[in-house]
Amino acid sequence: MPQIDLFALLAIITVVSAIFSYINIRFLRLPNTIGLMALALALSLMLIVLGKVNSTVLDFVTGIMNRVDFSEVVLEVMLSFLLFAGALHVDMDKLTEQKWVIFSLATVGVVLSTFILGTLFFYACQVFGYPVPYLYALLLGALISPTDPIAVLGILKEANVPKNIEIAITGESLFNDGVGVVVFLSILEIAKFGASEATVSDTAILFAKEVFGGIGLGLLFGWLTYKLMKSIDHYQTEVLLSLGLVMGIYALALALHFSAPLAVVACGLFIGNTGRNSAMSEQTLIYLDKFWELVDEFMNAVLFVLIGFEIVLLTFIGKYFWLGIITIFISLLARWIAVSAPLFALRSRTNFIPKVDWILTWGGLRGGISIALALSIPAEMNREVILSVTYIIVIFSILVQGLTLGKLVKQLNPAP
**Mapping DSSP to helix (H, G, I), strand (E, B) and coil, where does residue 108 land?**
helix
Q: What is the mean pLDDT of the chain?
A: 91
* The pLDDT value given to residue 151: 77
* The pLDDT value given to residue 394: 95
* CA gap 143, 369 in Å, rounded: 8
Judged against a pLDDT cut of 70, whether residue 405 lies above it is answered with: yes
Q: What CA–CA distances, in Å, run from 411 to 30, 332, 385?
A: 20, 19, 36
Chain segment 76-97, per-residue pLDDT in tens: 889 999 999 999 988 999 899 8
* Angle (nearest 5°) at CA 263 between 259 and 265: 120
pLDDT, average across residues 104-109: 93
* CA gap 79, 71 in Å, rounded: 11
Beta carbons within 8 Å of 308's beta carbon, 6+ residues apart: 36, 37, 38, 39, 40, 41, 42, 43, 44
The 3-class secondary structure across 243-254, one letter per residue, is HHHHHHHHHHHH
Chain segment 139-154, per-residue pLDDT in tens: 999 999 988 877 777 6
Chain segment 62-81, per-residue pLDDT in tens: 999 999 999 999 998 899 99
* CA gap 29, 39 in Å, rounded: 12
All structural domains of the chain with their residue ranges: 6-67, 74-303+317-412
Chain segment 190-233, per-residue pLDDT in tens: 888 776 555 666 777 878 888 899 999 999 999 999 999 999 99
Q: What is the topology classification, in CATH, of domain 74-303+317-412?
A: Na+/H+ antiporter like fold (1.20.1530)
The residue ranking higher by pLDDT, 198 or 105, is 105
Instruction: Give per-residue burial for 371-403: e unless 16+ CB within 10 Å, then b.
Output: bbbbbbbeeebbbbbbbbbbbbbbbbbbeebbb
Q: Where does the pLDDT of residue 354 fall: very low under 50, low under 70, confident under 90, or very high at 90 and above?
A: confident
- At residue 278, what are phi and psi to the nearest 5 degrees? -140, 5
Which amino acid is located at 311 in the chain?
I
Q: Is the pTM of this model over 0.75?
A: yes
* The pLDDT value given to residue 198: 56
| DSSP letter string, 328-340 | HHHHHHHHHHHHH
